A and B are shown apart, each in its own frame.
Chain A
């Protein structure tokens, strides 16, 4: 009898899960948390706060774009070099432009290329040398950080062109900052890439079953290398965008974004085992994380409790999505 009821309630839960896709669950959660925040901390739920949250979420969301691709590619795919590349992207832009607006685009070109190359090295390690993604990308993070220390000797020279702040961080159209518009454009681009290109379709296939993908003509190694390359490029681009907000650089600028970048992807319903997920999910995930963050700050919750609450919310969400084991079958 007990077993039967148990089975019944489980199938109800499953039905809810299948009706509500994870990105939607995350989005609803973000809005709910925002409204609850208004009740708990009067003055929290207003337009200014909302704009601020979305703006901060945009930085995380852009940084997590490449992470989304890498996690979808499966094979224990994860990119731990994201933080280091964000820092590198920001520092290079800072140094190359040295405050000169005419140099913004050339600097952008350089950092995209550098990010792509470093990411490709990760990809070569994973695809051709068969190294675990965790190991190679962690090692790469160390190498990039070490190089930054070595070259700069901790002396960060340069400046941020004023236009970057205006275009990205301040209100651009009405109250909406440029970075949010950029984020939406990136969202559309990522959707096109994942759902409307051969690369995207093959990426999902590679994430689920590399043997079947190869036997269907997919060049698995190429897809994997390209994915890590794109991740590196998007992380460096995240650093570029972040500079518009911070206006200044420091040596561990990007590091605090590493774990949230993974959390945002997972909260958005992308399966850690690979082969299933979306960038819309990551967008919603970044919003959830940022709302929680801002809310806990507004409530003046101690940092220790902030971490605990964040951890519990992640666990609850993952349990709700939690069908990864059956996916592996």
Chain B
């Protein structure tokens, strides 16, 4: 195998007006494991997508073995020997393991797809993880019948089937168990010895220190440093990932009065993702929920709202409850602003008015007193300063920030006592964010209990006096008072309490 070297310099990528990557740099060599590190939204995934040709940068240079390079598509990158294992799985559920692995590069015999060859080669790939999966994982098993860890293994083998010279492991260990991770790392060591280049995006510091040779750190879309693992410490890396300690100006939120009644108490809440969550929110408290994305925050909020099945104890307004449908949660004055406006929050082609009143039609009688409902809708639109042509305009004519106001407005109309927020400021502009922050403060001061998940650490630091950090489906750390700092937040997110 000839030497392989891929360099990305000064890569910039913007989406609309948002800069995802301002100055991305990466140097990848044969026989080296490079870790790509950064907090939420630092540009890690954009940079790794540039490597695989999924995203095309606005400017910057990519050099492959000394020659300038531009990948027009994932296929082009694959031909250059680059393949990636993604965390969000790309397998087709109704195809078999073999069909998925060899999709679009099926082994041929006399110009026809040879299922025998396909099966044999799949088996030899599976043998790499021999003994670490159930017997039902065969080349002919359907993906839909596999467990999450087995799917992740197939995903890894699929990337491997391209015989890559650079393999990117994007959170590839997230759903694997300890033994499987060990085997993967053994394999990585072998690949390294064979001259393959490896890039790993991981949130687990412990793994980075076990397997990586060097780490490249991103912060706010910029590559801020590269360290040789043998010469650095976890602490140094975490400091690189966050801005200069204490430089952040923020308004200290007042501590909630411990005399306020407890609005929500949860003990041992479990779902397929949550492994026992305990928490308490009081009236007038804006409790933050932090941690890296996908650690169970969404599941927690959905479970509290009765939108997904859960087990465990839940006490709402002093009464033991177990919601099986959002309707029951609503009757107990709970509201949820979901994480994805378009797919979970809005009826895009219907009017603003109908979206606002959707949870409340029942309170306007039969036949519906439309005039009264409209008055209410107009009041809330005014209060939230919605910019719109009329209440009858379809919601998809609104900007992101105004659309989000509709999602929030429909719950404010019901005057909730407990408000659950799932990353509500994602994809809205700075002005709308500022308005949203002051709205949250107002609601809190009026005595609403708020549980607020945000993927933006600055938001949590600026708005909350207490933050629960989630890791692997659990509340791993509680931060408040002096311990509520950016540094603590980041290191707790990485699962390394300090």
Is A214 positioned at the interface, with any CB of B under 8 Å from its CB?
A: yes
Residue pair A201, B346 in contact (C-beta under 8 Å): no
In the bound complex, what is the Cα–Cα distance between A268 and B367 (angstroms)? 25
Chain B: CB-nearest residue to A327: B349
Q: A211 at the A/B interface (Cβ < 8 Å)?
A: yes
Shortest distance in angstroms between B360's beta carbon and chain A's nearest beta carbon? 9
Q: Does A151 contact B (CB under 8 A)?
A: no
A209–B359 CB distance below 8 A: no
Q: Which residues of B contact A201 (CB under 8 A)?
A: 354, 357-358, 361, 368
Within 8 A of A (CB), among B335-382: 336, 338, 343-350, 354, 357-359, 361-362, 366-368, 370
Residues of A with C-beta under 8 A to B410 = 216
Report the stretch among B86-94, B214-222, B325-333, B431-439 that lies at the interface.
B325-333
Which interface residue of A211, A215, A219 has the most chain B CB atoms within 10 A? A215
A196 to B373, CA, bound (A): 11
In the complex, what's the smallest C-beta–C-beta distance from A300 to chain B, in angstroms?
44
* Distance of A205 Cα from B395 Cα, bound (Å): 13
With both beta carbons as reference points, the residue of chain A lying nearest to B369 in the complex is identified as A196
Which of A195, A209, A214 is in CB contact (< 8 Å) with B326?
A214
A219 to B347, CA, bound (A): 16
B residues 426-475 touching A (CB-CB < 8 Å):
none
**Contact of A208 with B349 in the complex, beta carbons under 8 Å:** yes
Check if A204 sits within 8 Å of B344, measured CB to CB. no
Most A CB atoms within 10 A — which of B336, B343, B347? B347
Which A residues touch B348, using CB under 8 A? 208-209, 329
The residue on B at minimum CB distance from A220 is B325
Is B176 part of the contact surface with A, judged by Cβ < 8 Å? Answer: no
The DSSP consensus for interface residues of chain A is helix
Cβ–Cβ contact B358 & A196, under 8 A: no
Q: How far is the CB of A24 from chain B (nearest CB, A)?
A: 17
Any B CB within 8 A of the CB of A276: yes
Contact partner of B327 (CB less than 8 A), chosen from A209, A212, A217, is A217
Closest Cβ of chain A to B188, distance in Å, is: 39
Query: Does B71 touch A at the CB level, under 8 Å?
Result: no
CA distance A218 to B359 in the complex (A): 7
B391 to chain A, nearest CB (A): 15
Give the chain B neighbours of A195 by CB distance below 8 A.
368
The answer on a CB contact under 8 Å between B344 and A198 is no
B contact residues around A205 at 8 Å (CB)? 347, 350, 354, 358
Residue B191 lies at the interface, judged by CB distance under 8 Å to chain A = no
Contact present for B350 and A275 (CB under 8 Å): yes
Question: Are A198's CB and B350's CB within 8 A?
Answer: no
Q: Complex formed: what's the CA distance from A196 to B358 in Å?
A: 13
B residues in contact with A212, CB < 8 Å: 338, 343-347
| B residues in contact with A276, CB < 8 Å | 349-350
| A198-B366 in contact (CB<8A) | yes
Bound CA span A192–B359, Å: 19
Please give the distance in Å from A228's CB to the nearest CB on chain B: 20
Please, how many residues of chain B have a CB less than 8 angstroms from a CB on the other chain? 28
Interface contact B359-A217, CB-CB below 8 Å? yes
Which B residues are CB-close (under 8 A) to A227?
A: none
Contact partner of B344 (CB less than 8 A), chosen from A197, A211, A275, is: A211
B350 and A219 form a contact (CB under 8 A): no
Number of A residues contacting the other chain (C-beta, 8 Å)? 24
A73 within 8 A of B: no
A211 in contact with B368 (CB, 8 Å): no
CB pair B326 A217 closer than 8 Å: yes
Q: Are B305 and A209 within 8 A (Cβ)?
A: no
Task: Write out the residue numbers on chain B whose beta carbons fall within 8 Å of the beta carbon of A197.
Answer: 366-368
The CB with the most chain B CB atoms within 10 A, among A201, A202, A205, A213, is that of A201
B307 located at the interface, meaning its Cβ lies under 8 Å from any Cβ of chain A in the complex: yes
CB distance from B457 to the nearest CB of A (A): 26
* Complex CA–CA separation, A192 to B326 (angstroms): 27
Bound Cα distance A219, B331 (Å): 13
Least Cβ distance of B346 to chain A in Å? 6
Interface centre among B326, B354, B357 (most CB of A within 10 A): B326
**Per a CB cutoff under 8 Å, which of A198, A204, A215 touches B338?**
A215
CB nearest neighbor in B for A193: B367
Measured CB to CB, the nearest residue on chain A to B396 is: A329
Find chain A residues with CB under 8 A from B338 CB. Answer: 212, 215
Asked if A198 and B327 sit within 8 Å, CB to CB, the answer is no
Query: For A208, what are the chain B residues with a Cβ–Cβ distance below 8 Å?
Result: 347-350
Q: How far is the CA of A201 from the CA of B326 in the complex (A)?
A: 18
Flag if A216 contacts B368 (CB, 8 Å): no
Question: Which B residues between 379 and 417 are near A, CB-CB below 8 angstroms?
Answer: 396, 410
Q: Kindly list chain A residues whose C-beta atoms are within 8 Å of the C-beta of B368.
A: 195-198, 201
| 8 Å CB contact of B359 from A196, A211, A216, A275 | A216
Given that A215-B336, A217-B359, A219-B325 are contacting pairs, would A204 and B367 also be in contact in the complex, using a CB cutoff of 8 Å? no
Given the interface contacts A201-B358, A204-B350, A209-B348, does A216 sit within 8 Å of B326 by beta carbon?
Answer: yes
Residues on B with C-beta less than 8 A from A202 are 358, 361
Interface string of A76-110 (1 = CB under 8 A from B): 00000000000000000000000000000000000
A193 to B305, CA, bound (A): 29
Query: Quick one: which of B344, B362, B366 contacts A215, CB cutoff 8 A?
Result: B344
A211 to B370, CA, bound (A): 25
Q: Which of these, A196, A213, A214, A218, contacts B370 with CB under 8 Å? A: A196
CA distance in complex: A211, B342 (Å)? 10
In the assembled complex, which residues on chain B have CB atoms less than 8 Å from the CB atom of A327?
A: 349
Nearest-neighbour CB distance to chain A for B322, whole angstroms, equals 17
A275 to B367, CA, bound (A): 20
Q: Which of A103-122 contact B (CB under 8 A)?
A: none
Give 29 A-B contacts (CB < 8 Å), ordered by A residue: A196-B366, A196-B368, A197-B367, A198-B362, A198-B366, A201-B357, A201-B361, A202-B361, A204-B347, A205-B347, A208-B349, A208-B350, A209-B343, A209-B348, A212-B344, A212-B345, A214-B307, A215-B307, A215-B326, A215-B344, A215-B345, A216-B326, A217-B330, A219-B325, A219-B327, A275-B349, A327-B349, A329-B348, A329-B396
Nearest 10 CB-CB pairings of A with B = A196-B367, A217-B327, A198-B361, A216-B359, A208-B347, A216-B358, A217-B330, A201-B361, A196-B368, A217-B359
Can you name 19 extra interface pairs (CB under 8 A) apart from A202-B358, A329-B348? A198-B368, A201-B354, A201-B361, A205-B347, A205-B354, A208-B348, A209-B343, A209-B347, A211-B344, A213-B347, A214-B325, A215-B305, A215-B307, A216-B359, A216-B410, A217-B326, A217-B359, A275-B347, A275-B349
- The chain B residues found within 8 Å of chain A, CB to CB, are 305, 307, 325-327, 330, 336, 338, 343-350, 354, 357-359, 361-362, 366-368, 370, 396, 410
